[in-house]
């Protein structure tokens, strides 16, 4: 029986492609070893960033093929990747292959496991960013949404053009929290899961993403 996946509205895009969904299934399996987990996380990162890049801006350009002139396009946005440490690093690795000219600003956030509040321990953003900046916030898990909102806030204050949030798995609670604070942010995810448990973990989720990626 296939799982029914729905997205709540147009600001959430669930990437329902069979390749993405079968890759996510390997990530969910608690028996998937670290080496395979990392490989599959990179792969799912590629699929999601590819989808997230769908509405990037481009300009018309021309090139000469060996046979003659051809019309083409070139990306025109100033692209920023913002991996949330630690787990977002794996999506950043995937994104850099697809968007090699992107600037990368790392965001250090950790959840206080008692209060579930996000604590910022690293961010080194400039005072201004180009107005055509398109920011991709990269974090595999959107749980309570506290980390996502903290990361988005850092960029929203800099008046960038667009902010996207790329996550492997999102909870309904996390989506609602982000939408309430930043309705303009588009969320690209492979799944909207059932709920959070009493420890703030996504159910069924895939466990602790950072620990599973880094084998800790
Ligand atoms: C995880 C995950 C997100 C955050 C999501 O990070 O990678 O950043 O939790 O939870 P939230 O939506 O409730 O804020 P964690 O704090 O475990 O840090 P780590 O990646 O360094 O292990
Ligand atoms: N962080 C994770 O890594 N997994 C969850 O399910 C929730 C927060």
Ligand nearest to the CA of 195: 2
Q: What is the pLDDT of residue 4?
A: 38
**Residue among 121, 102, 103, 101 at smallest CA distance from 111:** 121
Burial class (CB in 10 A: 0-12, 13-18, 19+), 159: exposed
pLDDT in tens, 132-163: 999 999 999 999 999 999 999 999 989 899 99
User: Residue 147 forms beta bridges with which residues?
Assistant: none
Q: What is the pLDDT of residue 9?
A: 62
Best mutation site among 145, 207, 213, 216 for ligand 2 pocket (most ligand atoms within 8 Å of CB): 207
**Residue among 144, 165, 138, 134 at smallest CA distance from 42:** 138
| Residue 124: Cβ within 10 Å count | 8
pLDDT in tens, 173-196: 999 999 999 999 999 999 999 999
Residues with Cβ within 8 Å of residue 182, at least 6 apart in sequence: 149, 152, 156, 163
Positions in the chain short of pLDDT 70: 1-9
Q: What is the pLDDT of residue 10?
A: 73
Asked whether 141 lines ligand 2 (CB < 6 A), one says yes
Q: Which two tokens stand for residue 34?
A: 């670290």
Sign of torsion over alpha carbons 202, 206, 212, 213 = negative
Best mutation site among 149, 193, 206, 212 for ligand 2 pocket (most ligand atoms within 8 Å of CB): 206
**Class of the 12-56+73-214 domain?**
alpha beta
111 as an active site residue: the answer is yes
Global pTM reads: 0.94
Compute the distance between CA of residue 144 and CA of residue 203 in angstroms, rounded to an integer.
12
């Amino acid at each position: 029986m296939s799982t029914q996946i729905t997205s709540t509205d147009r600001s959430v895009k669930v990437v329902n492609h069979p390749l993405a969904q079968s890759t996510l299934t390997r990530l969910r399996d608690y028996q998937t070893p670290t080496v395979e987990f990392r490989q599959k996380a990179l792969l799912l990162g590629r699929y999601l960033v590819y989808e997230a890049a769908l509405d990037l801006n481009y300009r018309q350009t021309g090139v000469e093929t060996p046979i003659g002139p051809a019309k083409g396009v070139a990306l025109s946005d100033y692209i920023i990747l913002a991996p949330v440490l630690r787990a977002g690093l794996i999506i950043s690795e995937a994104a850099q292959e697809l968007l090699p000219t992107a600037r990368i600003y790392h965001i250090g956030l950790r959840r206080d496991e008692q209060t579930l509040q996000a604590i910022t321990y690293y961010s080194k953003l400039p005072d201004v960013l180009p107005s055509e900046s398109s920011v991709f916030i990269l974090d595999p898990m959107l749980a309570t949404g506290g980390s996502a909102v903290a990361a988005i806030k850092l960029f929203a204050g800099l008046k960038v053009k667009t902010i996207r949030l790329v996550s492997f798995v999102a909870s309904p609670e996390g989506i609602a929290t982000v939408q309430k604070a930043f309705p303009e942010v588009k969320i690209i995810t492979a799944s909207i899961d059932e709920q959070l448990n009493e420890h703030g973990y996504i159910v069924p989720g895939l466990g602790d993403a950072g620990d599973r990626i880094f084998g800790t």
